[in-house]
Amino acid sequence: MGCINTTQADPVAGRFYLGLAVAPEHQRKGYAWEAGILLLGYMFGERRYQKAQAYVHDFNEVSQAGMLAFGATLEGRLRRHDFFAGRYHDNLIFGLTAEEFFAAHGSTGPQVSG
């Protein structure tokens, strides 16, 4: 089991936040990758958003690598942003533009017929 979502989708600014979670017993099977590619392709291609952002905790190296594999760039760090398990953790901010996504994944985006 798992989930994927978008939040704070702002069609005027053309940006949205991406969230992905996969239950431990289903991790490392490509589900997050496939769901992420489908959702990003839809949001950039069909909905014409221009930027995706994601927050990833500093200790979550798998999600950091996944965001980089999608083509995202580490844009910032919110230091000591969340407190759990007895300590503070940083949140890393990843950003991905439509052009970066399509360059990394071989699509040209929405086609306009004229």
Give the pLDDT band of residue 108 (cuts 50, 70, 90). Answer: low
pTM of the model: 0.86
Does a structural domain hold residue 60?
A: yes
Q: What phi and psi, each to the nearest 5 degrees, are found at residue 53?
A: -130, 150
Please report, for the domain that includes residue 59, its CATH number.
3.40.630.30
Based on the structure, what is the number of domains in the chain? 1
Assigned domain for 111 exists: no
**How many residues are there in the chain?**
114
Q: How confident is the model at residue 112 (pLDDT cuts 50, 70, 90)?
A: very low
Domain that holds residue 80: 2-105
Check whether 111 has a pLDDT greater than 50.
no
Query: Mean pLDDT, to the nearest integer, of 20-44?
Result: 91
Query: CB 51: neighbour CB atoms within 10 A?
Result: 19
User: Which three-class secondary structure string do you get for the chain?
Assistant: CEEEEEEEEECCCCEEEEEEEECHHHCCCCHHHHHHHHHHHHHHHHCCCCEEEEEEECCCHHHHHHHHHHCCEEEEEEEEEEEECCEEEEEEEEEEEHHHHHHHHCCCCCCCCC
Buried b (16+ CB within 10 A) or exposed e, 67-90: beebbbeeeeeeeeeeeeeeeebe
Average pLDDT, the chain: 91
pLDDT digits (tens, 9 = 90+) for 49-100: 999 999 999 999 999 999 999 999 999 999 999 999 999 999 999 999 999 9
In a domain, 112, yes or no: no
